[in-house]
Structure formats: C-alpha cells, structure tokens
Structure 1
Amino acid sequence: MPRISTFDEAIADSAQFTKRHLLLGNGFSIGCRAEIFHYASLYAQADFSAIPEVQQAFEVLGTQDFEVVIRTLEAASKLLPFYAPESKVGAKRMIDHAEALKEILVSTIAANHPERPNDIFDDEFWACRRFLSHFLAGNQPGHVFSLNYDLLLYWTLMHDDVPEEGAPVNLSKNDSFGNDEDDPDTDYVVWQGETAAHSANIHFLHGAVHLFDAGSELQKYTWVRKGEPLVDQSREAIEAGKFPLFVAEGTSAQKKSKIRHHAYLYQCFKVLTANAGTGTHCFFVFGHSLAENDDHILKRLGRGKFRKMYVSLYGDPESEENKQIIARAQALAALRYERHPLEVVFFDAASANVWGEPE
C-alpha cells in the first residue's frame, strides 16, 4: 500500500513544477451535495415511466450508474442481431433507450440541482475558491478540467465577493466565452473559437447543463445577461426541446468520437493533451475513480510527459474502490516511455477541505 499524503503535503511537493493542473471528477460535486449529485441520488429522482425496461436494466445489472446501463444497452444492440437475427426491432429499441437515458440523466440533474447559488453557503464557496487557488491563482495559473455537468464549478468561480474574514481569493477564470459580435446584447454569451480558447483555463471536457449547442454557435447561459437563475434557464430550454452540450456516451471510444466531432469539446481535449505533454507541469486528479469509461482522457495523462500526478483517495485506502483507483493510477504510469517516467502520489481527499472543514 503506497503512502497517503495530505493535500497540503501534495501541494508543497508540487511547488517544484511551473504549473499545477486539476482534473475534477464527480467526487468534487458529491463532496458539496451528496444527496443530489451521487448517481444513487440521481437514480432515485429519475423518471423512467416512459421507458420502464430501462429501470429493469438497472436492477438486472445491479447498478445505479447511468453510464454503465448506457454502455450495456449500446453494446447489447450490436450483439443482438447475431444472437437473434429476427429481432431487429429489439436492437433499435436498445439504441433508442440508451439515447433516452442520456436525456433522462441531464434532465434529472437539471431538475434536482440546487436552485440558486445562495443554496450553497458562503463559507463553502470561499473554501472551494481557496482550493481552486492552488491551480488558478498567481503569476502562472494552471488549468481546471471538469468532467462534471453541474453548475458548482461555475458558481464558485463567479462567487468573488469578499469574505467577512481574510483576504479575497482572486482566480483566473477565462473560459473562452464572450459577446456575440453580431448581437452583443443577447441573453447569453458564445464560445469565441479556437483563437480565444488558447488563453482559456477553465474547460468543461464533457459539456455542462448551461452550455447549449445552437448549431451555428455554442451558447453559454448566464445570470448576468438575463437576470434569471441558470438552473431555470436550463430547465426552460430542455422543456422547449433544446438539449445541452453533454457527453454521456457509453464507452470511452464513443465519448472520444463525440468530442472529436465538436469544436469546443475537441479544443478542451487538445488543451489537456498539450499540458500533459509539458514536462515542467504536474496534474492533480480529484474526485475521480479513474474508471475505464474515461480512458480517452486518462490515457492522455498516462502517455504525457509531465512527471508527477497527485490522485485523491476518499475514505479507507484499503477499501476495494481505493485499491482499484491505486491499481488504475499505476497502470496509467506504466504507459509512459522510459525517458518520461510518471510518479504517482496519493493524497487524502478529505484533507483538501474542498467545501470547508467538516462539522
């Protein structure tokens, strides 16, 4: 069993590198509101009435993980024609249900999301900003790459008022969205394209509930422009038949294919790849299980040139889940060429106090 550092120890050790980058998984959001963002919570709130077979699929597979069921349905649809060639309708139905399940997932996140930023305590936001400052403050801020669909990261970056005690935490928060040059007074801002993206340091690798693909442009809904909470805007858009930019494909290969076919997502992916290929940088991975359905992202870290990766573990390091994370992290390090070895350091996720000290 490797030694488990504290977060502060990991940060102190990483001072040897010119930049720190952060990859956020769902544990970041679960740490704030587990009752909302854990897959079990989403499953309990989801409405499967239109596709009851899918709820049975969850039960048969013994999971509440949406991506596991999506991946299984898509895989089974390819096998069914060989085992039951007369059942062409069944294969199509599985594909249709996989697509419907993706929509249920994002609709459930939007429906059960905290209503307003005020639902998160100031102390929680300030603690999170202090956590993010290790990656987004200073003369050479790094990048934050999020795999989450919710608004918690965005809300935290926007929560820049001054705490009652202590100095404000200033963060670099360029996400490459700005005014539409043809209509600067719209209720939303638009992605400025690859040129502007070179200076961005906030990246939603799998999309988010406030990013909507309008065909000719990618729109980001904002509270400032419309004066209406983002959750409400997202719900209204979904109810009107619009769908956020959202990567919930079943396998890593399918996710990668979708990313490659969307300019914004692919630009985020290229930025991660470029920084993983910089030997003087380091990466922190927080709240991610390193599961293979995100190998399209993780293998870029494994095959990069940066020298050290700091991976969070939550709870007992001897738990089966943490043992799997340790094994997966070591497998990523094994992908390296000898001249660019990767050292993995594990740290206690709770010691980061991302959303504040536990009560």
Structure 2
Amino acid sequence: MPIEILDFAEAIAKAKNYGKKHLLLGNGFSIACRPDIFAYGSLFEEAKRTMSVELAGIFTAMGTQDFEEVIRALQKAAAIVGVYRPKLLATKNLLLADAEKLKTDLIQAVAGRHPARPNEIADERYISCRIFLSKFVGENENGKIYTMNYDLLLYWALMHEEEDELARIALIHDDGFRKDQEDYDAPYVEWQGERAAHGQNIHYLHGALHLFDAGHQLQKYTWVNTGKALVDQANEALKKNLFPVFVAEGDSKSKLTKIQHSAYLHHNFKSFAGVCQTNSKDGTALFVYGHSFAKNDAHVLNLIGQGKIVHLFVSLYGDPDSNANQLIRNNVDKIVGLRPKGPALKVDYFDAASAEVWG
C-alpha cells in the first residue's frame, strides 16, 4: 500500500503541535556525510588488514561484512562448544578471544578511517547539520539528542561555530562533561553524572571514540585542552591498550548488558527510557533519522513502542517501496504493535534527503 512521505519541513511543522520533540540518530547520519567511510563495507576492508585468517574466513563463510553479526556468532559458538565438548576449553577460549579481537579491529578501523580533523568537513556542511540539529536543541527548543553512533561527527557539528556572529546558529547542548575539579589543567574533561547530568541533553547511547574509561572517572579528550585532533588522541590511546567506551556487542541483550555495567551508558539509556515514558501535557514527538529499526537495537527501539511517545517520525532514503525501506516499515510496524492499551502510536515517514543534514 502506498504511503505518504513528508518533506522534513512538513514533519517539523506537524511536530510543533507537541510539547517536546527529540531526535534519535542512527548510522545513516554519518553515512550521509561520508558514505565512503561510514558504510560497513569500508570499515570491513580496513579491519581486514589486521584480521586473522580464521576471522576473515568467518566473514566469508557467513556472507556478511557486519561486525556485530560475526561477534554474536563467535560468542554463541563458544557457548555451544561448551555444551557439546566441555573438554575443548582451549577452543571455547579461542572463540571468545577472537570475538574480543574483532571488537578491537572494529575500533581501530573506525579510528583509522575517520576524518582526521574537523576541518576536513566543509563549513557549509556543518552549517546544514547545525540547522538540522537546531530543530531539536535550538534556542527556542527543549529537546534532547540521542545517538547510536560512536564517531565524532555529531560532536564536531555541535562544537563548530560560524565565523559570522550575525549568522551564528545558536545550539543549546550539554553532554554532562566538566573540568576535573581536582586537576583543572588536565587535558580532558570528566563526566560529572552526579552534578551535571540533570541538564544533559546530548546522549551517546553506545559510547563514542572520544570517551575513555579511566576507572575512577569517564574522560573526554578535547582539542581545546590538548591541541591534538581527537582521532590522533584515540589512536595514541589504542597504542597504550586504552580503549574508548564503546558498545560493539552483537545482539541487543549483550548490548544492554554492556550498557548496564557502565554508569555513563546506563544514565543515557535511562534518559531515553524516561523520554519514552514522558506523558507531557501536549505530548512528545520523536524523530528517528538514519536507522533501519533492526532487532539488534531492540533494547532501545522497543522503549518507543512500550512507552508514551505520541508521534514517531521516521526517515526513509530513496524509494519508499524499495526492499530496504519495506524492511524498515515492517520493523516500525512491530514497534507500533508493542504499544500497550491506550492511544496508538502515530507514525509518519519523511524523506531523509529533504532534511539536508549535511547539505
């Protein structure tokens, strides 16, 4: 059955009827900026350079370039070996070790293929992105932004400022990080969940490349404090076997387990859950841009159907009847079916290209 596809401006106009509107970003946000880098195929080719013959063979045997799918397969294979051949402990441990190795390969691939510095992206593209973001965290908005991406594009766009003050796009954003009160000159800022989380409106649901777990604190390295590009900092940390806070688990349950073992990630997850359960006077709208609604993110997406969001706006790229978009629509229908008794979840689709997220 044909569906109506709204222009992004039309979708925003519809959402003005609600008290709040929030934004959830998927990998399509990054692909729209640099499809040559952030498509899975590119990451795979980069990671394959340091991949063992066995791991590369698993990708071939499974006919996929999806890191998460292979990680999940390795973890399940280890569980199965433990049942069928409990004495093959070395094999079980090797499978689990390769799953961890693949996570490392993925992080290194992302860091290595990521634009090295913010200025590799043209100012005009940042302006377009900031205009898009302003619909949710602009001066007269009170929304929140949630992202499942771990690259730096959102962070760079938020920190970018137009040179012409008269043309400056005002964004109200707070990721909860502040100066370390015990080391004010430190080359990083720390997440202050106890003191700053209330005003936080930028949430990395699956972590990010510039966030490092230092044990007693979560640190965010910034160019302002170090003079080094963020990706350079990430690469230096990787050489020291220090890794970003990064969810690379394969399936939704494993992702949720990782999230629940991190105070920062759990806070972000609870914030999104809270948004989904909010029953404000004028209702709440949620925009989802660049996500396929695949089940490996069900821990986040199911909250939409199970909650009280009044209106869901979902981006589609290209022909709405293409196989990929049909799959998205079917997945969204499943989310709608989770809604408990009460008013049904309204759904509108909008043309991703019309949002001109990166120009």
Q: Could you say whether these structures have the same fold, taking a TM-score greater than 0.5 normalized by the shorter chain as the test?
A: yes
1:222 maps onto 2:225 in alignment:
no
1:133 is aligned with what amino acid? Answer: S
1:4: which partner in 2? 5
2:119 is aligned with what amino acid? Answer: N
For structure 1, which segment, 190-199 or 85-94, has the greater mean C-alpha deviation from structure 2 after superposition?
85-94
Note if contact 1:333-1:341 (Cα within 8 Å) is conserved in structure 2.
yes
Query: 1:340 Cα shift?
Result: 3.8
CA distance in 2, matches of 1:49, 1:263: 32
CA distance in 2, matches of 1:331, 1:354: 27
Note if contact 2:50-2:105 (Cα within 8 Å) is conserved in structure 1.
no
2:340 is aligned with what amino acid? Answer: Y
CA distance in 2, matches of 1:49, 1:350: 36
CA distance in 1, matches of 2:141, 2:8: 20
2:151 is aligned with what amino acid? Answer: D
1:58: which partner in 2? 59
Is the partner of 1:182 in helix, strand or coil? coil
Q: Evaluate the alpha carbon distance shift between residue 50 and residue 346 of structure 1 in structure 2; reply closer, same or farther with a 3 A threshold.
A: closer
1:336 maps onto 2:339 in alignment:
yes
Note if contact 1:137-1:172 (Cα within 8 Å) is conserved in structure 2.
yes
Unaligned runs of 5+ residues in structure 1 are none
2:98: which partner in 1? 97
Unaligned runs of 5+ residues in structure 2 are none
1:300: which partner in 2? 303
1:41: which partner in 2? 42
Query: How many residue pairs get matched?
Result: 355
- For residues 69-218 of structure 1, what are the structure 2 equivalents within 5 Å? 69-162=70-163, 167-218=167-218
1:315 maps onto 2:318 in alignment:
yes
Note if contact 2:24-2:147 (Cα within 8 Å) is conserved in structure 1.
yes
CA distance in 2, matches of 1:26, 1:140: 24
> Which of 286, 292, 302 does residue 283 from structure 1 map onto?
286
1:239: which partner in 2? 239
Query: 1:25 Cα shift?
Result: 0.5
1:160 is aligned with what amino acid? Answer: E
Is the partner of 2:199 in helix, strand or coil? coil
CA distance in 2, matches of 1:144, 1:320: 29
**Kindly, what percent of the aligned residue pairs are identical?**
48
CA distance in 1, matches of 2:269, 2:198: 12
1:69 is aligned with what amino acid? Answer: V
CA distance in 1, matches of 2:336, 2:194: 30
For structure 1, which segment, 189-198 or 305-314, has the greater mean C-alpha deviation from structure 2 after superposition?
189-198
Is the partner of 1:345 in helix, strand or coil? strand
Query: 1:282 Cα shift?
Result: 0.9
Query: 1:348 Cα shift?
Result: 1.1
Query: 1:85 Cα shift?
Result: 4.2
Note if contact 1:160-1:168 (Cα within 8 Å) is conserved in structure 2.
yes
CA distance in 1, matches of 2:314, 2:139: 23
Note if contact 1:28-1:287 (Cα within 8 Å) is conserved in structure 2.
yes
Is the partner of 2:167 in helix, strand or coil? coil
Note if contact 2:48-2:56 (Cα within 8 Å) is conserved in structure 1.
no
Question: 1:46-92 CA distances to partner (integer Å, 9 max, x unpaired)?
Answer: 14545221111111111111111111111121112334445332222
1:264: which partner in 2? 264
CA distance in 1, matches of 2:275, 2:80: 39
Q: Evaluate the alpha carbon distance shift between residue 226 and residue 121 of structure 1 in structure 2; reply closer, same or farther with a 3 A threshold.
A: same
Is the partner of 1:302 in helix, strand or coil? helix
Note if contact 1:20-1:142 (Cα within 8 Å) is conserved in structure 2.
yes
CA distance in 1, matches of 2:102, 2:236: 19
Note if contact 1:330-1:344 (Cα within 8 Å) is conserved in structure 2.
no
Is the partner of 1:99 in helix, strand or coil? helix
CA distance in 2, matches of 1:50, 1:295: 29
What TM-score does the superposition give when structure 1 sets the normalisation length?
A: 0.96
Note if contact 1:133-1:171 (Cα within 8 Å) is conserved in structure 2.
yes
Q: Evaluate the alpha carbon distance shift between residue 163 and residue 309 of structure 1 in structure 2; reply closer, same or farther with a 3 A threshold.
A: farther
CA distance in 1, matches of 2:34, 2:44: 15
Note if contact 1:48-1:54 (Cα within 8 Å) is conserved in structure 2.
no
What TM-score does the superposition give when structure 2 sets the normalisation length?
A: 0.96
Note if contact 1:157-1:171 (Cα within 8 Å) is conserved in structure 2.
yes
1:248: which partner in 2? 248
Question: 1:232-266 CA distances to partner (integer Å, 9 max, x unpaired)?
Answer: 11111111110100001111011101111111101
RMSD: 1.4
CA distance in 2, matches of 1:233, 1:82: 43
2:355: which partner in 1? 352
